[in-house]
């Protein structure tokens, strides 16, 4: 569907910020560095794993919005042959 403009990449970065924040706080709490997310109701390793899922998701969205995965020889944009 063509090239994505700068507005789409900015939207992806803005969307990834809460995921990065919650993920970083969850990983920090999982390591016992702080109680950023409140008093834990589950073991700290569970919070750490959940934080890692959020952190990796946010990093993936941020990387895609910055252009990762869009190579020069992308085959998704047209005819074959």
Instruction: Scan for tokens 């995921």, then name that residue.
Output: 19
pLDDT tens figures, 4-47: 555 568 888 999 999 999 999 999 999 999 998 889 999 999 99
Residue pair 21/55 in contact by the 8 Å Cβ criterion? no
The pTM of this model reads: 0.73
Q: Please count the other Cβ atoms lying within 10 Å of the Cβ belonging to residue 16.
A: 21
Lowest mean pLDDT among 36-40, 50-54, 66-70, 76-80: 76-80
Task: Quote the distance between the C-alpha of residue 5 and its chain's center.
Answer: 20
């Amino acid at each position: 569907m063509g090239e994505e403009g700068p507005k789409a990449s900015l939207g992806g970065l803005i969307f990834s910020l809460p995921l990065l924040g919650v993920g970083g706080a969850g990983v920090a709490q999982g390591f016992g560095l702080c109680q950023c997310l409140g008093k834990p109701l589950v073991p700290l390793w569970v919070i750490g794993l959940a934080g890692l899922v959020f952190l990796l998701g946010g990093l993936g969205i941020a990387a895609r919005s910055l252009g990762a995965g869009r190579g020069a020889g992308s085959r998704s944009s047209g005819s074959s042959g």
